[in-house]
Amino acid sequence: MTIAGIDHASLPMQNTDAMLAFYRELGLDVVELGPVVSMYAGSQMINFHRPELWQRDGFTLRARAATPPCGDLCFVWNGSSDALGKLLADAGAAIEEGPVTRHGGRHADGTSVYVRDPDGNLLEFMIYA
């Protein structure tokens, strides 16, 4: 038996309304399930915990020091660099770095662009040849 992959990641969220609007603008499928908001990029899922969950005294199923912003996420972009730039501009995300060459999870080099979401998490968008 082996680990087959990553099912999802979970992060605390501070600016709920801005975060939901931002990720919807990026085209992610956003599903609100009470204190947890699941965001899907294809078959990958990111759970964002609303403040009323991650700030609750008894909530221990998270990293002990996890407070926004604590995420560094990389998405694979299946389009052109120009189309990505337009999407990010439409979402109000300023490019911090890129395009730059980076080695990615597919054991190959790609071109990356870095931005931040409304909570300040770092988002990388990787374009493979």
Question: Does residue 103 sit within a domain?
Answer: yes
pLDDT in tens, 31-78: 999 999 999 998 999 999 999 999 998 988 888 888 889 999 999 999
Question: Does residue 2 sit within a domain?
Answer: no
For the chain, the average pLDDT equals 93
- Using CA atoms of 8, 13, 17, 20 in order, give the dihedral in degrees to the nearest 10: -20
Angle at 112 between CA 111 and CA 114, to 5 degrees: 165
Question: Does residue 71 sit within a domain?
Answer: yes
Q: Which residues contact 79 (CB under 8 A, 6 or more apart)?
A: 127
Question: Does residue 12 sit within a domain?
Answer: yes
Question: Does residue 3 sit within a domain?
Answer: no
Catalytic residues: 124
Question: Does residue 22 sit within a domain?
Answer: yes
Question: Does residue 110 sit within a domain?
Answer: yes
Number of domains, the chain = 1
pTM reported for the whole predicted model? 0.91
Question: Does residue 96 sit within a domain?
Answer: yes
Which structural domain, as residue segments, surrounds residue 104? 8-128
* Backbone φ, ψ for residue 53 (5° rounding): -90, -55
Q: Is the dihedral of CA 122, 113, 31, 91 positive or negative?
A: positive
**Residue 100 and residue 94: Cα distance in Å, rounded?**
15
pLDDT in tens, 54-66: 999 898 888 888 8
CATH of the domain at 82: 3.10.180.10
pLDDT in tens, 80-120: 999 999 999 999 999 999 999 999 999 999 999 999 999 99
How far from 5 is each of 8, 9, 32, 105, CA to CA, in Å?
9, 12, 24, 11
**Residue 28 and residue 21: Cα distance in Å, rounded?**
10
